[in-house]
Structure 1
Amino acid sequence: MAIKLSLADRWRKFWTSSEKQTNIMQIHSSLNNYSGPSPVITMGTFDGVHPGHKALLEKVKELAVAENTESLVITFWPHPRQVLLQDAERLRLLTTLEEKTKLISETGIDHLMILPFTAELAAYTAQSFTEEILVKKLHVKHLVTGFNHKFGKGGITFNELTELSHKHNFQLTQFRHVDVNGDHPSSTKIRQLLLEGNIGGANHLLGYPYAISGTVVGGQRLGRTIAYPTANVMLQERSKLVPPDGVYACRVKVIGKLFNGMVNIGVRPTVNHQMDHRSIEVHILDFNRDIYSEEIVVYFEKRIRDEMKFSGIEALKEQLQKDEIIIRQVLIKRK
């Protein structure tokens, strides 16, 4: 399956669809509060909800309509690697739970079940998970798996899963990968591109601009003295992936509107003498409102340069003026 849209068309579609009301998807936090019909089910972490995930979810929806039932997605929170302590400190997520829920809702899925991932759940074998949860609890009618999806302690082969489907009388479909203009999107590959600062490559595989969200908090207010006031962003999720230090062209959603902006990520070497934390500071172009404590979303478009240390405030201001010129040109081209 190939997705062939130009970058401009894909971005236009994203900004248009992101303003639409999301599907009225029912969200369940327990196996006991699902009372719908025997559903078509798929499951996974779905970090990023990239085009590969979306194509899988579209297949689930199509099967649900064809079989006169409803679609159900099972996902897990926190991420299984965090519970299983599989290099958990290095894991960085493409989407928070709220972002993932919104993206899945926008696909038109009927039900999303967010199962708390615990050590107890991790102890289930694939067979016991299938029999005790999918069959007995949810009465699965049709299970759709990704081509490389593994679940359950010890895993399971597709042939073994096929035998279980015959034994318990549910349909089984294995969904193949999706090709996006010659590339196969994966959450791992997208994370790596972002960590390298390759925003364009990551956005290409995501199918939408990578974003971070948080709350505007107080800062040193230095930007106001050089005509570049910034909003300091406090992230909502500790494990959210933040691109490498540097300056980026971005779009900013705040107070319900979308603006152009420039964002600096780093330790602010010119003015920060403690050097003990990274900051995320956004200057919103052509904007002068006080947005302290407001929720903010920053969509990354392009990395402009590395973070730099300057001889003083005037040198910093001169560089910011140069950055602004470049960023305005970038954002005009991306419309």
Structure 2
Amino acid sequence: MKTIIIDHKNDLHLVASCPTVAALGFFDGVHLGHQKVIQTAKKLAEKIGLKTAVISFFPHPKEIIGKTGERVHYLLPPAEKAKKFSRLGVDYFYLIRFTPEFARVESKDFVQKYLIPLQIKHVVAGYDFTYGRKGKGNLDTMEEESGYSITVTKVENVERNDEKISSTLIRNKIQLGFMEALPNYLGEFYETKGKMVCTEGKAELIWDRYYMLPPEGCYDVAIYKGHGWVEGRVLITDQQKTYWLGPSIPSAWSVFRVKAKWISRNIRFISEIVEAPGKKLVSIRG
């Protein structure tokens, strides 16, 4: 898959690689609803002999046009989204920088100055997708705004347990610590990546940017350190620091890359950390 970063200064006629069917959206988390949109685009592209593209944006529009100081809780960094798109069979990933200038682009200009120069022939998106300044454009207006050079497919939402799967729903589950529920919406356990810093018997996990952590508490996880998955527990403090409780906490100072699968909240442990005399972190049973 080829990833192409786009901002308002690009000449998109030079950027475009070939005609495509494009899935359009922010796709934070690439949950089952997003996957349905992308898979629909992939099937349509194969049917008419075109490549498949994903068009997305970064940062989140709320960071640019939302309330001052409003914090956006991301589920995945753009690079990890790209990996998921690639596994879904996407050929091109167009990532548009969402800037104040882009936020002022009218809906028709988005179609005429972005989608058409990128040689988008068909757009697939969720039924409630909007675009352009103040979200005035939608899939019902896109065909007309393209001069009928672009056709569209509207994908209905996916539900689990009578709930519409959405990035907002997943964020709410994480905020409540319901990590065991996430495979119902993501199709897999939620994963984060970062580094483990081991000093004097402590093992702190420092996560990369653009992941979301659950609240203070103890959680069952699986950690991958380059030699297979190891199941254990982590403790998140009220300061949102994360500590690996083992098994096998290295005693020597070391730093290495890890990724974690968040399995479930472990309610048998109180979310409290104390410093033992030997400087080791211990959890307190409830």
Please name the residue that 1:120 is paired with.
Answer: 101
Q: Which runs of 5+ in 2 are unaligned?
A: none
Poorly superposed stretches of 4+, deviation over 4 Å: 286-291, 309-314, 316-320
| Aligned residue in 1 for 2:271 | 307
1:92 pairs with 48, 60, 73, which one? 73
Matched, 1:293 2:265: no
Q: How far is 1:73 from its partner?
A: 0.5
Say if 2:2 is the partner of 1:26. Answer: yes
**1:141 paired residue number:** 121
Mapping of 1:130-279 within 5 angstroms?
Answer: 130-135=111-116, 137-154=117-134, 155-165=136-146, 167-180=147-160, 182-219=162-199, 221=200, 224=201, 230-237=202-209, 239-267=210-238, 277-279=239-241
Q: State the Cα distance separating 1:163 from its structure 2 match.
A: 2.2
Distance (Å, rounded) in 2 between the aligned partners of 1:318 and 1:169: 63
Cα deviation digits, residues 265-285 of structure 1 (max 9, x gap): 114xxxxxxxxx431111343
Number of the residue aligned with 1:65: 46
Q: Name the CA shift for 1:54/1:290 in 2 (closer, same or farther; >3 Å).
A: farther
> Match of 2:18, as an amino acid?
P
- Determine which structure has the larger strand proportion and give its number: 2
Deviation of residue 289 (structure 1)?
8.4
- Residue 34 of structure 1 and its aligned partner are, at CA, apart by 3.4
Asked whether the 8 Å contact 1:266–1:307 carries over to 2, the reply is: yes
The alpha-carbon deviation at position 158 of structure 1 amounts to: 3.6
Which residue of structure 1 aligns with residue 244 of structure 2? 282
Q: Partners of 2:124 and 2:114 in 1: how far apart?
A: 15
2:192 maps to amino acid? I
Q: Equivalents in 1 of 2:26, 2:266: separation in Å?
A: 32
Q: Is the 8 A contact 1:41 1:74 kept in 2?
A: yes
What is the aligned residue count? 277
Give the CA RMSD over aligned residues: 2.7
SS of aligned partner of 1:29: strand
- The 1:244–1:176 alpha-carbon spacing in structure 2 relative to 1, beyond 3 Å, is same
1:20-59 correspondence runs (5 A) = 25-30=1-6, 32=12, 34-59=15-40
Give the superposition deviation at 1:317: 8.1
Which structure dedicates a bigger proportion of its chain to helix? 1
Tell me how far 1:79 sits from its aligned partner.
1.8
1:193-240 CA distances to partner (integer Å, 9 max, x unpaired)? Answer: 110111122332222111221122355x3xx3xxxxx43122220x43
Structure 1 letter corresponding to 2:181: G
Gaps of 5+ in 1: 1-24, 225-229, 268-276, 324-335
Alpha carbons 1:255, 1:294 under 8 Å: kept: no
Q: How far has the Cα of 1:102 moved from its partner?
A: 1.3
Q: Which amino acid in the other structure matches residue 206 of structure 1?
A: L
- Contact 2:216/2:236 (8 A) holds in 1: yes
Partner of residue 64, structure 2: 83
User: What is the TM-score with the length of structure 1 in the denominator?
Assistant: 0.75
In 2, Cα distance between the equivalents of 1:117 and 1:99? 18
Corresponding residue of 1:270 = none
Distance in 2 (CA, whole Å) between partners of 1:205 and 1:251 is 19
Q: What letter corresponds to residue 80 of structure 1 in structure 2?
A: P
TM-score normalized by the length of structure 2 = 0.86
| Distance in structure 1 (CA, Å) of the matches to 2:139 and 2:282 | 60
Structure-1 separation of matches of 2:77 and 2:253: 22
SS at match of 1:90: coil
Identity %: 23
Q: Offset at 1:175? A: 1.1
